[in-house]
Amino acid sequence: MTARDTRPQDATTPYAGPGHVQVVVLMGGLATRLGDAARTVPKALIDVEGRPFFAIVLDALKRRGLRRFLLLTGHLGDQVRAAFVDGAGLGVRIDYRDDGPEPLGTGGALRAALPLLDERFFLLYGDSYMDIDYERLYREHLHHEREGRAALMSLYRNDDALERSNARFEGGRLVRYDKRADPAGMRHVDFGVSVVRRDLVARIPANTPADLADLMRDATAEGLVAGCELRDRFWEIGRPGPLEAFRAYVRDRAARPRKAVFLDRDGTINEQVRGGAEGVDSPFRPEDVRLIPGAADALKRLKSLGYLLIVVTNQPGATKGKATVPDLWRVDDRVRDLLAAEGVAIDDSLVCPHHPAGVPDRCPGAGLIGPCACRKPAPGLIGTAAAKHGIDLAASFLVGDSDADIGAAEAAGVRAVRVGPNGGTLSEFADRLLQGEA
């Protein structure tokens, strides 16, 4: 059995990433849609460029700080256990529960594991790859839990592109979720990762095959499930076409190291607002976001040179009671949306919500105040992005307006470019690159 996490936390609990959060992975399916590719091996062990699929998934989850796993196996589950054992050799802890001779379905398998579940946990599908900000999901869930929600579902604006849409998300709220209904009016699809409370799972009848989608459909109808829209796509290998697409993605990422421009956000891409101890501060509401004139055009020029555009930003507003935790990422999403409207696609955006001091009596979340590895000038955000995207740091830049940005660049081994009152502009930097002078 896996031990539940019962440690008390308050605003000043030292930050160690979301590593204390249990990750439950559903991987008991028969994989019939994959045909011969999964006839003698489970989906978790299907070869992807010389490695088992779930080994690649584990790499991504470890990058995000996750360390505790419960694998719910079924079809050929003994092979999964033999491949990953207890996880010690991989730097993680892995526990297992097997369906047994009779398949229980996704809901039934989760219900049978009830004694092994933490009070709240990440829930993933074993045929999906999602290298995303898990801390964001967990903290948004805690925010909505205080409003009475029992789960948070990650969503992607799909418009039936990757697969049939199954969720209606309007005004920041998950209005409807149904995998079997007519998708009319639905523009989103569930991303394949949720945060779930154990007491919601207890609703499923014991010792009975059940579909998790039915539980989530009914709980959504009752207003018990919050939604979180993510901007980055997910990958799944449950069908031959998507499996080959994921193999191509992994192959392309490994074949050619990429160069990137890492970008501070406030004061570099978007304008700061009046306020704060220094007279200016980050915007804390999406409607307050304004792009710096010329920033979008400068980013287009950088894109034309083959650079990935990756935002790395310190956003400690919630630690000081200036914003809710979800607001931090909603503002970040707004910056990306405004740039997209100008024809600029940001390749990734990484947010550090922590602060070493903060204001403890105004901070809404456990573990936000204290030391962390991601707050600039630490290089954590840069390192996470570099591993995810296969970035050649020596060929990359960081552009920012503060000493923390310059320090992060030096710590990560990328070239630093200062903009703002003590430097130039993003447009000037882009022009120098175009002219081969940077």
Domain boundary among 225, 253, 281: 253
The count of domains in the chain is: 2
The encoded tokens of residue 61 equal: 């989850």
Secondary structure in 3-state letters for the chain? CCCCCCCCCCCCCCCECECCCEEEEEECCCCHHHHHHHCCCCHHHCEECCEEHHHHHHHHHHHCCCCEEEEEECCCHHHHHHHHCCCHHHCCEEEEEECCCCCCHHHHHHHHCHHHCCCEEEEEECCEECCCCHHHHHHHHHHHHCCCCCEEEEEEECCCCCCCCCEEEECCEEEEECCCCCCCCCCEEEEEEEEEEHHHHCCCCCCCCCCHHHHHHHHHHCCCEEEEEECCCCEECCCHHHHHHHHHHHHHHHHCCECEEEECCECCCECCEECCCCCEECCCCHHHCCECCCHHHHHHHHHHCCCEEEEEEECCHHHHCCCCHHHHHHHHHHHHHHHHHCCCCCCEEEEECCECCCCHHHCCCCCCECCCCCCCCCCHHHHHHHHHHCECHHHCEEEECCHHHHHHHHHHCCEEEEECCCCECHHHHHHHHHCCCC
Mean pLDDT, residues 319-341: 95
Q: What type of residue sits at position 85? A: V
What's the chain's average pLDDT?
Answer: 90
Specify the residue for token string 């539940």: 4
The encoded tokens of residue 416 equal: 């630093």
In this structure, of 41-50, 62-71, 208-217, 248-257, the range with the lowest mean pLDDT score is 248-257
Residues 292 and 241 in one domain: no
Q: Is residue 8 part of a domain?
A: no
Residues 68 and 210 in one domain: yes
pLDDT digits (tens, 9 = 90+) for 119-136: 999 999 999 999 999 999
Q: Is residue 6 part of a domain?
A: no
| Residue 436 clears pLDDT 90, i.e. is over it | no
Domain boundary among 253, 288, 320: 253
Residues 243 and 260 in one domain: no
pLDDT at 232: 85
What's 174's domain CATH number?
Answer: 3.90.550.10
Residues 34 and 82 in one domain: yes
Domain boundary among 206, 237, 253: 253
pLDDT at 17: 59
Residues 123 and 44 in one domain: yes
pLDDT at 402: 94
> Residue 200 belongs to what domain range?
22-253
pLDDT at 29: 79
| Residue 354 clears pLDDT 90, i.e. is over it | yes
Residues 101 and 76 in one domain: yes
What's 283's domain CATH number?
Answer: 3.40.50.1000
Residues 159 and 184 in one domain: yes
Residues 261 and 244 in one domain: no
Taking alpha carbons only, the member of 40, 228, 221, 259 closest to residue 122 is 228
154: exposed, middle or buried (C-beta count within 10 Å: 0-12, 13-18, 19+)?
buried
Residues 131 and 58 in one domain: yes
Residues 233 and 296 in one domain: no
pLDDT at 160: 79
Strands 68-73 and 22-27, sheet pairing: parallel
Mean pLDDT, residues 403-419: 97
Residues 289 and 399 in one domain: yes
Q: What is the pTM of this model?
A: 0.90
Q: Is residue 183 part of a domain?
A: yes
Specify the residue for token string 């296969």: 390
pLDDT at 256: 78
pLDDT digits (tens, 9 = 90+) for 89-115: 999 999 999 988 888 999 999 999 999
pLDDT at 156: 92
Q: Is residue 12 part of a domain?
A: no
pLDDT at 276: 60
Q: Is residue 332 part of a domain?
A: yes
**Contact assessment for residue 417 and residue 397, using Cβ atoms and an 8 Å cutoff:** yes
Distance from C-alpha of 219 to C-alpha of 148, rounded to nearest angstrom: 12
Q: Is residue 15 part of a domain?
A: no
Mean pLDDT, residues 253-273: 93
Q: Is residue 223 part of a domain?
A: yes
pLDDT at 181: 85
Residues 238 and 363 in one domain: no
Distance from C-alpha of 326 to C-alpha of 140, rounded to nearest angstrom: 6
Q: Is residue 187 part of a domain?
A: yes
Mean pLDDT, residues 252-280: 87
